[in-house]
Amino acid sequence: MNTETTSRDFFEQKYLKNADPWSFASSSYEQCRYDAIFRSLNHRRYRHGFEPGCSIGLLTERLASVCQYVDAMDISPTAVRYARERCRGLLNVDIECGALPDLIPIGSFDLVVLSEIGYYFEEEELEGLAKSIVAQMSMSGVLVAAHWLGASEDHVLSGDRVHEILASLKGLAHEHEEHHAGFRLDRWKRI
């Protein structure tokens, strides 16, 4: 990871200055992204979902309605505190503070959501991390990725490059893609 813009301190400072630094709760872009992710799940029920980079837990809260159990995590302790508060009544949600690839929950996932997180990794790091996550997915498990397509000094990779790397992984079959104003979404199935 790029230590200047992807470190724990970088994200923690963002959340200490602003409880919702990317306006996840109020931005029409963010709501559109959450809605697209949720629609891409095809009204299916999932046994075990994993959402790294959960931020303040808005998507986590929605995933809890379609997953028997959700493991979520964020690198910022302050973001984790907000996410836990948001999801406090949801007994099927566990939110931990940690960073990929160091903290991947134990178990087999049938849903993994990588949203707005992939571009904080170097190419080789993202590829290795994604391979580890795919190896923990159950057969026919679903990987959904959604990333902004703009440019940012904070990002190591572009959103398109993140999806190219994910698409190159063995063991995944591409099922669905969407292009929206500002972001793309792809869904793969473990084969």
* pLDDT tens for each residue of 123-174: 999 999 999 999 999 999 999 999 999 989 889 999 999 999 999 999 999 9
Give the model confidence (pLDDT) of 33-90 as tens digits. Answer: 999 999 999 889 999 999 999 999 999 999 999 999 999 999 999 999 999 999 999 9
User: How are strands ordered across the β-sheet holding 183-190?
Assistant: 93-97, 67-74, 46-52, 109-115, 137-148, 183-190, 172-180
CATH architecture of 8-190: 3-Layer(aba) Sandwich (3.40)
**How much is the pTM?**
0.93
Q: Where are the domains of the chain?
A: 8-190
Residue 132 is classified by DSSP as: H
